[in-house]
Amino acid sequence: MVLRIAFMGTPDFSVPLLRALVDAGHEIAAVYCQPPRPAGRRGLELTRSPVQRAAEALRLPVYTPRSLRSEEEQARFQALALDVAVVAAYGLLLPKAVLDAPRHGCFNAHASLLPRWRGAAPVQRAIMAGDAETGMMIMKMDEGLDTGAVACVEKVAIGQDMTAGELHDRLSQMAAGLMVQALAALEEGTLKLVAQSGQGVTYAQKISKEETRIDWRQPATGVHKHICGLSPFPGAWCEMEIAGKKERVKVLQSQLVKGFKGKVGQIEPESLTVCCADGAVRLVRLQRAGGKPLDGGAFVRGAPVRAVF
């Protein structure tokens, strides 16, 4: 049985899931994503989202409303006569009228082990908090923030040096397979929904600009996880003294170092090893403003570092 689906997503994360639904033979009645955003040095160019570009390449109808709260937008959505809506990192809240419109409701692919890390940045927050594992969950949406009943779950271990970018890509592929599995069970009438626990609820707030700066006064493990959790975007950063001037530099990859002692913030220039409150980290991959990402050796050869702040 083919399901008539509206797909709702915006970033790269969502693209494999859209393609998986098409490959599974479902009818994609509409694709919803956020509107094109200003880009370019002057912000005069409009850039379509990854999902919009993928949908247009697949010759699927695309809608990019700024909100779904108007009666006009809700009526258009209801007129699609959907079996189900599939949501993955869409970025807009779904009003009750939209949630209730599809025959089987709306199902969301959420990148955490709910109820831990409800909200906007579950991938980054799981790494930054030092979680040993996370996962992908398919959830039937309700009016709460990621509070709906769970249909499917798959777990993944978070390696010591795993970055948010690496985990993002892993979970993106998992979401595609898990949603196709959930929809197959929905078609067969065998999909089971389990209410979330009321214990262990945490919220994954958006990453603020203020918290992206590296604080060397933290233990090395915390500094390392901070760097991993913000790589590659938005990127953890510090200031470095290079050629007698302070420069803001992103640190995209690091490693924990044992047996290195010194004052907090002290750096060994050759290896780019920095002392923290407890232990040390080696800065493995860095990026100067306007420059390309470089491994530590290449970075040092082009920009001798005297201090970090």
Residue 21 labeled ligand binder: no
Torsion of CA 179, 84, 27, 29, to 10 degrees: -130
Is 80 a known ligand-binding residue?
Answer: no
List C-alpha distances in Å: 38 to 54, 154, 227. 19, 36, 28
Q: What is the CA radius of gyration of the chain?
A: 22
Contact 125, 118 (CB under 8 A): no
Q: What is the DSSP string of 74-93?
A: HHHHHTT--SEEEEES--S-
Q: How far is CA 210 from CA 213, 254, 290, in A?
A: 7, 20, 21
The answer to whether 256 is annotated as binding is no
The CA angle 248-249-253, to the nearest 5 degrees, is 155
Distance CA(86)–CA(9), nearest Å, equals 8
Q: Please check if 112 is assigned to a binding site.
A: yes
Q: Indicate the length of the chain as a whole number.
A: 309
Three-state DSSP class for residue 125: helix
- How many CB atoms are located within 10 Å of the residue 103 CB? 10
Residue ranges at the known binding site: 112-115
> Residues marked as binding for (6S)-5,6,7,8-tetrahydrofolate?
112-115
